[in-house]
């Protein structure tokens, strides 16, 4: 029996806060069943790379956020 496992970071654009930031979520999928977990971090949707599933740029803020997301992934 094959087991599938996948992790995906995404932002919820329908939950944008008044300051213009959107929450980041982690979707865990096991054998086709998905569960979403809030990463408890927020980002401007313009600074989010949809294809790479991480923050854009080389700023300290982006590096810190990407390191945090990498830690959650591991």
Q: Tell me the three-class secondary structure of 16-70, residue by residue.
A: CCCCCCEEEEEEEEECCEEEEEEEEEEECHHHEECCCCEECCCCHHHHHHHHHHH
> Which pair of tokens denotes residue 36?
């979403």
pLDDT value for 1: 63
Average pLDDT for the chain: 93
pLDDT value for 2: 73
pTM: 0.89
Mind listing the pLDDT tens digit for each residue in 20-50?
999 999 999 999 899 999 999 999 999 999 9
Q: Are 22 and 43 in contact (CB under 8 A)?
A: yes
Q: How confident is the model at residue 57 (pLDDT cuts 50, 70, 90)?
A: very high
């Amino acid at each position: 029996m094959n087991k599938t496992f996948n992790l995906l970071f995404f932002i919820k654009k329908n939950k944008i806060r008044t300051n213009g930031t959107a929450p980041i979520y982690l979707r865990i999928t096991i054998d086709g069943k998905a569960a979403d977990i809030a990463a408890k971090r927020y980002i401007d949707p313009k600074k989010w790379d949809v294809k790479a599933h991480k923050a854009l740029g080389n700023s300290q803020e982006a590096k810190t956020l990407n390191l945090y997301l990498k830690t959650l992934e591991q």
